[in-house]
Amino acid sequence: MLPRGSIASSSVPKTSVYGSMSSTSDDSSALATPYPDSEMDPAIRHVGSYEPAPGEQSIIYDEPIKKSITLQTREPSKHRYGLGDFVFHRTLGTGSFGRVHLVRSKNNFRFYAIKVLSKEKVVRMKQVEHTTNERALLSRVQHPFVVNLWGTFQDPSNLYMVMDFVAGGELFSLLRKSTRFPDPVGKFYAAEVALALHYLHSNNIIYRDLKPENILLGADGHVKITDFGFSKLVPGVTGTLCGTPDYLAPEIVEGKFYNKSVDWYALGILIFEMLAGFPPFFTTDPQPNPFKLYELIVAGNVVYPSYFDEKAKDLIRRFITADVTERYGNLKYGAKDIFAHAWFAEVPWERLYKKEIPAPYVPKIESDGDASQFARYNENNTLDYGRHADDPFGHAFPDFDYST
């Protein structure tokens, strides 16, 4: 079987899917086989924040990890923004639901990224709840490896989210250009992502769309996770099929309830993809058929390239096991098992968190607002921004202010 990385379509970013199987809502009751909490799979039920018993020493308990889980959130910004505050420049990226533009503030002349979502499309694709979550969660989180959301607004046709412009481009582009990353490079990105996921999980947020397209690099080369379109506050379990096919855990594919550990599964896929240049499960069909891919995911047979480090293989295996009672990040010691894993042995977590470990690749950024690290897209989509129009869906997005 040809690695997906070497076929022409491999450079097309994988887009996210939503609800094409059993459920169309995040309400677990929409699942085909609902079962009451009390009968939940005990393996899933026992998961949660691990509190060491009095006197019990956790495997690693150092400041860095502690700091990254201090549930630091922020008050949502009180700034009010409108279209009139920005000059729109080129497109930085597109996804299934949005188009992201480079913009410049007319007030402070700084560059930002604005994600624009068509209200009509969001409603039609049943994404109202997800978009509401995206705004609510991203405006509360604060972490060195997560993108910052400054504010949001709407006009009759669109929703707008004002974020920091993350200038270094997608990890996806760097990976495809590099074919694959040497082990220490993959480890660096995996470790920063692990800190971000751990932070989100400590705040009961499942991210649900980890993939190289959603991991951006700052001008300093450190990661910034973007796209909270599928993130959700989930202290326990949930059941919606959403994410990106290559990165879906078997329990999601099978329509079961699942918990935060689907993000650790996805980190296992990400590590594999970074080290190999292609993900562990893929099909080479000219017409991608997610159901064939899902069969491979459920079967779980992985062929590891011979050049993989044994410790990397071990960690990947512990992440991508279908048995959630065995999955790292989901065991008694939670994320501590991950931070203490042998593949990460040389990672100084506290210094990593403080960005004291130099990034393996520093993007060439000529000036503020240099978007040369991003692919080019056709540009005729700003036409209806701010235009007067009927607004049949405005009521669906009460958290987005009307632009002035």
Ligand X SMILES: Nc1ncnc2c1ncn2[C@@H]1O[C@H](COP(=O)(O)OP(=O)(O)OP(=O)(O)O)[C@@H](O)[C@H]1O
- Judge whether 209 counts as a catalytic residue: yes
Residue 16: CB minimum distance to ligand X, A: 3
Task: Check residue 97 for interaction with ligand X (CB under 6 A).
Answer: yes
Closest CB 93 distance from ligand X, rounded Å: 2
Q: Based on the shown chain and the rule CB under 6 A, indicate whether residue 163 belongs to the binding site for ligand X.
A: yes
218 binds ligand X (CB under 6 A): no
97 binds, among Mg ion, ligand X, none (CB under 5 to 8 A by kind): ligand X
Binding to ligand X by residue 15, rule CB under 6 A?
yes
Among 138, 200, 216, 293, binds ligand X (CB under 6 A): 216
| Total of residues contacting ligand X (CB under 6 A) | 25
Contact between 214 and ligand X by CB under 6 A: the answer reads yes
Tell me: is residue 260 an annotated ligand-binding position.
Answer: no
Report which residue's Cβ sits closest to ligand X. Answer: 95
Task: Out of 85, 155, 192, 227, point to the residue binding ligand X (CB under 6 A).
Answer: 227
Among 22, 96, 204, 284, binds ligand X (CB under 6 A): 96
Of the residues 4, 16, 245, 337, which one makes contact with ligand X according to CB under 6 A? 16
Within 10 angstroms of residue 265's Cβ, the number of other Cβ atoms is 28
Q: How far is the CB of 307 from ligand X (least distance, A)?
A: 29
Please state, in angstroms and as integers, the Cα–Cα distance from residue 102 to each residue in 31, 144, 381, following that order: 39, 21, 13
Q: Which does 22 bind (CB under 5 to 8 A by kind): Mg ion, ligand X, none?
A: none
In terms of phi and psi (left: phi > 0; alpha: psi -120 to 50; beta: otherwise), the region of 71 is left
- Binding of ligand X by 93 (CB under 6 A): yes
* Chosen from Mg ion, ligand X, none, partner binding at 296 (C-beta under 5 to 8 Å by type): none
Which among 209, 227, 246, 263 is annotated as catalytic? 209
Q: Which residues bind ligand X (CB under 6 A)?
A: 15-16, 92-98, 100, 113, 115, 147, 163-166, 170, 209, 213-214, 216, 226-227, 229
Q: Hey, which residues are catalytic here?
A: 209
- Binding residues for ATP, by number, are 115
